[in-house]
Amino acid sequence: MSGALAWFLVALGLGVVVVRRRSLAVALVTGQALVLAVSAHGEPGAAAALAVRALVLGLLLLLVVSRTREPRPVRSGVAPLMRGGFAVILALALTWLVPTMGLASRNAERGVLALIAFGLVAVATRTATLFQVLGIVLVENGLALAALQLHNGSSAAIELGVAFDLTLIATVAVVFHERIFAEFGTGDAGALRSLRD
Amino acid sequence: MTSSELLALAAVALPALAAVGSAAAPRRAVGALATGGATLSAVAAGALAVATVGRPGTTAESAWLVVDPAAGILVAVIGAVGLASVVVSPSYLSTVTGGLVRASRIPRLYYGLLFAFWAILTAVPVIGNLGGAWLLVEATTAASALLVGFSGTPRALEAGWKYLILTSLGLGVALLGVVLLAATAGGGLDALSWQALARVPAGGQTVLIAYVLLLAGLAAKIGWAPVHNWLPDAHSEAPAPVSALLSAALLPTVLLVAWRSSRALSPAVGTATAHSVLIGFGLLSLAVAVPFLWRPLPWKRLLAYSSLEHMGVIALGLGFGGPVALAGVVVHIVGHAAAKALGFYAAVPLLSHEPRAGGHAVGGVARSEPALAATMGISLGALAGLPPSPLFLSEVLIVAGGFAAGRPWTAGASALLLSLGFLGMAHALLDTLAGRARHRSQRGRSVGLRTVTILTTVTVLGLLALTAVAFWLPGSDLAHNLAAELP
């Protein structure tokens, strides 16, 4: 994988951490998955699984955005620049901590770790439920990149299974998001604070 | 294909068929179909257990299927808890007025999801491949998250959401471990079979990192501390029959995946290292759970923290290894499943008898509803490890296994934490049954008490039989077979 492509994927991921608009974030992760699918042209099974997953998830999430218009933007407790800073620091820390993973290129390894870090930071710092789902998708995109960069090629069966599972999880998350929106009038996970010990 | 392999496939296929049937059946036929499907599924699961445990030395294993005593025991546990949950479900459903869907669709959605969860869960112990196991564990999240949030209340939605996000994220971390292992082992699904993983070359730092990531990710699903935050919420807010399946069946089933991974990768990462990771999670889970067992908690939340404690105990047993500790683990998994499931079933009559019990600790149940108090007392006493509970013997075996494994300090610390946990649970037992009622609330009819009382009788007989088995198990072929390394 070329360095430019890895950096492009990382930049799309960082965008999800910092942008405010949900639809833009959905477009970023969908675009990221489609770029991954295109880069997997040597493995048609894996590429097809990734492309279908990207489109299905993208359409599903955009539909949800249109069905659950927020009366006002859900504000995260952490400012966008801070979120971006956290994400970059965690990505650098992971790159420093995790030794060579045995993927086809070091650029790809760094890209995988960065996307996982960005996904974790998105889930931890964004309170909008949809952004938390996008954080999980971001992590899975990073893992899809890792699977595609295995020396002996990815297994189409695994790609297909992961794509199916992720779509299933995202669909269930969408059901919850809509119910939470209906119950609380907002898709803000910050409203979910009644269960504490 | 051998008869054991056919039984394994039947144990997975029958609940899957029941899921489809329940979701599609006419409303009036759903209950009967569910009972029939659950009975057949449980019979297939029991037959698999008899076939595998009766011949502990024989293991059928391929890249996709593994039929061994560990799988047989877990499939039987899932089958028994699944059947009991279906038996209790009509009582639970009679108390439900709304939920994720409109009232007329509730039974079909409920049973459809319950059987789908059951089928996926049953496939986990018999899958012969780490990649496949990961996919199945992730799929259990989808089915069970909807069940956790089934009542549609704000608290249930919060619990379901936390469960979905935290376990999915954890499994993402585990998947990174799987990908790293695939890279080391040679790529493709075949390279991830349990047997192939046992041949991964030793000494590589990547394998160690992959192993730690895998277990850390699975820990989020097992409910090990410090990634257990979803567990008390999901267990307390899910419908009681589902809580029973989550605690008694899901947690130990995912634990089996962790054990199979640890066993397969021990040659590559070193047996001591592989075991130390399990022991670390076990001790931490015990240490985190014990203080909560001393606090007055709502009934289902108390049971949830008890799950954290017991998953820690099982992790310790797996980490100590050896026939004695692993015999303790087998007894602990089965005994915990029986006692914990009974405790959650008792929540159905308890919540109708005393609605405040959903959010507050209850007291003095023996005075207001003696039969219900007996069930709760048996469940809590067994979980506390009060003799003749099999969990007392299993904990003794696990601690003894720790000493036998040359880890006296860890075994001593475990014994201390277990004693503190016992005292906390004993305090809760006395308070719940004979203590002062904390709130004077209007008490109602105990829905489903008769069913739960019958289940209590069956459970008591089962627990006593298990106590007898616990004396024989450490010296058995089964325990030695479990302790043997993969060929």
3-state secondary structure chain B: CCHHHHHHHHHHHHHHHHHHHHHHCCHHHHHHHHHHHHHHHHHHHHHHHHHHHCCCCCCEECCCEEECHHHHHHHHHHHHHHHHHHHHHHHHHCCCCCCCCCHHHHHHHHHHHHHHHHHHHHHHHHECEHHHHHHHHHHHHHHHHHHHCCCCCHHHHHHHHHHHHHHHHHHHHHHHHHHHHHHHHCCCCHHHEHHHHCCCCCCCHHHHHHHHHHHHHHHHHHCCCCCCCHHHHHHHHCCHHHHHHHHHHHHHHHHHHHHHHHHHHHHHHCHHHHHHHHHHHHHHHHHHHHHHHCCCCCHHHHHHHHHHHHHHHHHHHHHHCHHHHHHHHHHHHHHHHHHHHHHHHHHHHHHHHCHHHHCCCCCCHHHHCHHHHHHHHHHHHHHHCCCCCHHHHHHHHHHHHHHHCCCHHHHHHHHHHHHHHHHHHHHHHHHHHHCCCCCCCCCCCCCCHHHHHHHHHHHHHHHHHHHHHHHHHHHCHHHHHHHCCCC
Position A197 in a domain: no
CA distances B215 to B128, B255, B256, B344, B350, Å, are 18, 9, 11, 28, 37
> Across the interface, do B168 and A150 touch by the CB < 8 Å criterion?
no
Quick check: B486 pLDDT over 80? no
* Count of domains forming chain A: 1
pLDDT, residue B487, reads 56
Among the listed ranges B178-187, B397-406, B421-430, which one has the minimum average pLDDT value? B178-187
- CA angle B276–B208–A161, rounded 5-degree value: 110
Nearest CA to CA, how far is A168 from chain B (Å)? 6
Contact A194 B295 (CB under 8 A): no
* B149 — pLDDT class (breaks 50, 70, 90): very high
A64 lies in a domain? Answer: yes
Question: Quick check: B57 pLDDT over 70?
Answer: no
CA distance B363 to chain A (A): 19
Residue A3 tokens read as 């360095």
Q: CA of A185 to nearest chain B CA: how many angstroms apart? A: 12
Q: Tokens 């933007």 correspond to what residue?
A: A73
**What's the residue count for chain B?**
487
Predicted confidence (pLDDT) per residue in B32-44, tens digit: 999 999 999 999 9
pLDDT at residue B371 tops 90 = yes
The dihedrals phi and psi of A176, each to the nearest 5 degrees, come to -65, -45
- Give CA–CA dist B464/B458, Å, rounded: 10
Tokens, residue B382 = 């067994």
- Residue B398's pLDDT band (cuts 50, 70, 90): very high
Range in B13-22, B442-451, B460-469 the model is least confident about: B442-451
Q: Is residue B440's pLDDT more than 60?
A: no
- Residues B286 and B293: their CA atoms lie apart, in Å, by 10
Residue B118's nearest CA partner among B39, B201, B52, B19 is: B19
Instruction: Give dist(CA B423, CA A179) in Å, integer.
Output: 41
Residue pointed to by tokens 């047993």: B317
Is A159 contained in some domain?
yes
Which of B149, B126, B145, B146 has its CA nearest to residue B136?
Answer: B126
Contacts of A112 in chain B (CB under 8 A): 176
The Cα B297–Cα A197 span in angstroms is: 9
Q: Which residues of A110-144 are buried (b: 16+ CB within 10 A; e: fewer)?
A: bbbbbbbbbbbbbbebbbbbbbbbbbbbbbbbbbb
Q: What pLDDT does residue B130 have?
A: 94
Per-residue pLDDT at B443: 62
What torsion do the CA atoms of A10, A14, A19, A21 make, to the nearest 10 degrees? 50
How far, in Å, are A122, A132, B119, B430 from residue A140 at the CA level?
A: 13, 13, 25, 48
Tell me which residue in A120, A140, A179 faces B157 most closely, judged by beta carbons.
Answer: A179
Q: Do A195 and B158 touch (CB under 8 A)?
A: yes
Whether A196 is in a domain gets the answer no
Work out the average pLDDT over B140-162. Answer: 94
Which residues of chain B lie closer than 8 angstroms to A193, CB-CB?
A: 158
Highest mean pLDDT among B199-213, B291-305, B437-451, B470-484: B291-305
Mean pLDDT of B120-141: 95
Nearest beta carbon to residue A180 from set B145, B157, B301: B157
**Does the distance separating the beta carbons of B135 and A175 come in below 8 Å?**
no
Domain holding A123, by residue range, is 3-189
Q: What pLDDT score does A153 carry?
A: 64
Q: Kindly give the parts of chain A with pLDDT less than 50.
A: none
**What one-letter code names the amino acid at B147?**
L
Contacts of B189 in chain A (CB under 8 A): 155, 157-158
**Residue A68 belongs to some domain of the structure:** yes
Please compute the mean of the pLDDT values over residues B194-217 and round it to a whole number: 89
Mean pLDDT on B258-281: 95
pLDDT of residue A76: 79
Distances from the Cα of A13 to the Cα of A25, A29, A112, B277, angstroms = 9, 7, 11, 32
User: Does B184 or B35 have the greater pLDDT score?
Assistant: B35
A107: which 2 tokens?
A: 């650029």
Gap between the Cα atoms of B380 and B361, Å rounded = 14
**For the complex shown, is ipTM > 0.85?**
yes
The token duo for B106 is 């509730």
Q: How far is CA B24 from CA B42, B144, B161, in A?
A: 21, 19, 27
> Would you say residue A55 lies in a domain?
yes
Q: Which of A132, A153, A165 lies closest to B135 in CB terms?
A: A165
Confidence of residue B438 (pLDDT cuts 50, 70, 90): low
Cα B451 to Cα B106, B121, B247, B390: the distances in Å are 21, 25, 20, 24
Is position A17 within any domain?
A: yes
Backbone angles phi, psi at B67, to 5 degrees: -120, 95
As a whole number, mean pLDDT of residues B72-77 equals 97
Q: Could you say which of A161, A162, A176 has the minimum Cβ distance to residue B161?
A: A176
CA distance A172 to chain B (A): 6
Look at residue B204 in the predicted model and tell me its pLDDT. 76
* Confidence check: pLDDT of B60 > 70: no
Examine residue A195 and state whether it is found in any structural domain, yes or no. no
